[in-house]
Structure 1
Amino acid sequence: MGIRKPGPSVRLKLTLSYAGFLMLAGALLLMTVWVFLRSHLPEVAVMPGGVLNRATLMSTFTSAAGVVVVFLLVFGLLGGWILAGRMLAPLTRITDAARRATGGSLSHRIRLDGRKDEFRELADAFDAMLTRLEAQVAEQQRFAANASHELRTPLAISQALLEVARTDPAGVPGELVDRLHAVNSRAIDLTEALLLLSQADQRSFTRDRVDLSLVAEEATETLLPLAEKRGLTIETTGEITPTHGSHALLLQLTTNLVHNAIVHGRGTVWVTTAAEPKAVVLTVENAGEELTPQLVSTLVEPFQRGTERVRADHAGVGLGLAIVKSITQAHDGTLTLTPRPGGGLGITVRLPRWWLR
């Protein structure tokens, strides 16, 4: 954008508009009176003070009208300036809040008093935007700190293992190579998860018709060997559930849910799809340990793991449910986590239903 030249303020424009409208209304009124007098006054009028002709009366009226016009101009400018200032006072507070936000202060709120009008709605909307923006910035800062910590851990381990190898350059034991491979794989998985999370947050994907029931079957087939290895069974039921979105991201969402249910569950994992009048629903449940609502509410946060649910194998990088949440929001859906009676977790994803147009 080019640099714009400074122009007259809104207050000055409103003042001139008020004064101009007042002068126009006064001029029209005076013109109406002038036409009326010119049309109805006789040439010579007998007045208590003497005899006056119409020309003299019209000249006197014209002089008085000029004084009235000047008075209306002064009154309109002065009154318009005062009224414009009072009308624009809320806008000044909103502008001040916007400048503070631009400077990095997101905690300031306008909190405009008075009855609900256009300025009050604008101020309330701006306050709501600041509240949401402040929460997002705090979440991003927390996420960046956690991501740095999670990435630093495998790098530190790799550095320590390499230091051990350097002290014995004659030969690197196979166990050391295996550990380096495992640490490197974890770092790669974490990086890929961060990239996927960023893609979902930016909504940079193409939307197509996707059947969640087919996606659930695909994810279940992929993870079936892991379930069999851990002694779990997967039961998949449901109906055709068409939605609108990215097949790859929705497959990742379903895979994360099923993988999470397998790793942290026992016995059986239930995967169900259902269609509602305006939405499609994917539900993944597992049996397992008792979970408190407080713990469940933190599981969708990045790098948050329920300590009693994490095991050494297939523990993941702590972004599985965070990615599910991000993909769900990117598809204008809702995510609900509920502890199951008797132990385990039930996760429900509700997405807008796709309709053929």
Structure 2
Amino acid sequence: MDRAPGLTVRIKLTLSYAGFLMLAGALLLTAVWMFLLRYVPDGWPGLLGVTPNRYLLLVTFAPAAAVVLVFLLVFGLVGGWILAGRMLAPLTRITDATRVAASGSLSHRIHLEGRGDEFRELADAFDAMLARLEAHVAEQQRFAANASHELRTPLAISQSLLDVARSDPAHDHGELVGRLHAVNARAIALTEALLLLSRPHQESVAREPVDLSLLGEEAAETLLPLAEKRGVTIETSGEITMVGGSHALLLQMTTNLLHNAIVHNLPERGSVRVTTSVRPETAVLTVENSGERLSPELVSTLTEPFQRGTGRVRDDHTGVGLGLAIVKRITQVHGGFLTVVPRPAGGLRVVVELPAPPSKAGEQSGTRIDTGQQRGIGPDGEPWIDAARGDR
């Protein structure tokens, strides 16, 4: 906003220093004058035997006091200007850095040296803010570029299929419609994932009691056909694990974790284990899967959008590379933490920690309900669910 020009802070501080010094000098001279009036009698003999009266004393004292006040004024202005400049030098550097950042350059840092004080705390906080902004802008730029690339791919495939159909009317339209349907379904899934990825960042979620253990079982039931097709065994176990949050988003998070664990697994005889547990202040959901060995460097990038642990080679179920990114965003919007680490034997271990609601009587008492339910392919090739150890 436009403001009328005014005095700079340095000038204001200089005038304040000089004014304070003048006031202190005036008070000191007044005290001296009052001392002379009180303790120097009118008939007090002066130098060389002369007896001055109070009028002569005032005439002698006033010019000297005026000279002192003028000296204090000049000294206060000069000294105040120098001191104010030295005190405000860090603020000038912060202002210059702000202008540089406002011009679009977020890589500049102040790096204010010296011991800690208010200006250095402000400079350090500003540097930290610039670092976060730079990382956020870089992430958004990568996301926009990757999203554009991912969205362009199904559109280009559809365009190619339509061009083939136009140039070859005798082409099998049934096959064409099937391929177009698959490409369109993938584009819809990608668009919905992008919307879900952006929505939790912009709005608060409704809070309701949700049992993570039930979500794990529901996601396992939903993805059981995919697990059977890939020969993956799913095991769910754990305690009643209550959290406060959006049932839809938390179910999406659990489904994404389980889907990722099934797809990125061993070619055959793979396994996925879903467990829930309660800690003093957090509710924990853990998803572990077998698979190929992954380096820590690769694992650290898996929560970024469009990153796939097995490269960019796709099949019908590998998704669009947003599964763990969505999980990370949903975890953040619920105030939790996501940890992704490689397993020594291969595969991943993903741990979601969410704030546990306040404990109530009969809720989250720590009762262990380990159903040991396993889902997968039996020895005869038929799907099976082992619930012999009980159900909820």
TM-score, normalised to structure 2's length?
A: 0.85
- SS state at 1:146 partner: helix
2:327 pairs with 1:328: no
Stretch moving more, 231-240 or 35-44: 231-240
CA distance in 1, matches of 2:212, 2:37: 85
Measured against aligned partners, the alpha-carbon deviations of 1:261-311 in whole angstroms (never above 9, x if no partner) come to 112225321111111112221100112222222322222121111226965
CA distance in 2, matches of 1:175, 1:240: 48
AA in 1 matched with 2:128: A
Gaps of 5+ in 1: none
**Residues 289 and 308 (structure 1), Cα distance of their counterparts in 2 relative to 1, 3 Å cut:** farther
- SS state at 1:205 partner: coil
- 1:135 match: 135
Q: Is the helix fraction higher in 1 or 2?
A: 1
**Residues 272 and 115 (structure 1), Cα distance of their counterparts in 2 relative to 1, 3 Å cut:** same
Q: How many angstroms does 1:91 deviate by?
A: 0.6
CA distance in 1, matches of 2:161, 2:136: 38
2:287 pairs with 1:288: no
- 1:257 match: 257
- 2:105 match: 105
Q: How does 1:168-183 map to 2 (within 5 A)?
A: 168-169=168-169, 173-183=173-183
- SS state at 1:52 partner: coil
- SS state at 1:101 partner: helix
- 2:45 match: 46
* Alignment check: 8 A CA contact 2:204 2:333 kept: no
CA distance in 1, matches of 2:245, 2:19: 56
- SS state at 1:153 partner: helix
- 2:306 match: 303
Measured against aligned partners, the alpha-carbon deviations of 1:176-212 in whole angstroms (never above 9, x if no partner) come to 0010111111111111111111113334433444332
Q: How does 1:1-357 map to 2 (within 5 A)?
A: 3-49=2-48, 50-169=50-169, 173-265=173-265, 266-307=269-310, 312-355=315-358
Aligned residues, how many? 356
- SS state at 2:345 partner: coil
**Residues 44 and 241 (structure 1), Cα distance of their counterparts in 2 relative to 1, 3 Å cut:** farther
Q: How many angstroms does 1:221 deviate by?
A: 2.7
CA distance in 2, matches of 1:72, 1:101: 42
**Residues 244 and 69 (structure 1), Cα distance of their counterparts in 2 relative to 1, 3 Å cut:** farther
Q: How many angstroms does 1:316 deviate by?
A: 0.4
**Residues 9 and 209 (structure 1), Cα distance of their counterparts in 2 relative to 1, 3 Å cut:** farther
Gaps of 5+ in 2: 361-392
**Residues 63 and 293 (structure 1), Cα distance of their counterparts in 2 relative to 1, 3 Å cut:** same
The CA RMSD over aligned residues, in Å, is 2.1
Measured against aligned partners, the alpha-carbon deviations of 1:28-51 in whole angstroms (never above 9, x if no partner) come to 212222222222220122022321
Stretch moving more, 168-177 or 274-283: 168-177
- 2:365 match: none
TM-score, normalised to structure 1's length?
A: 0.93
- SS state at 1:51 partner: coil
**Residues 310 and 165 (structure 1), Cα distance of their counterparts in 2 relative to 1, 3 Å cut:** closer
CA distance in 1, matches of 2:208, 2:60: 81
AA in 1 matched with 2:113: D
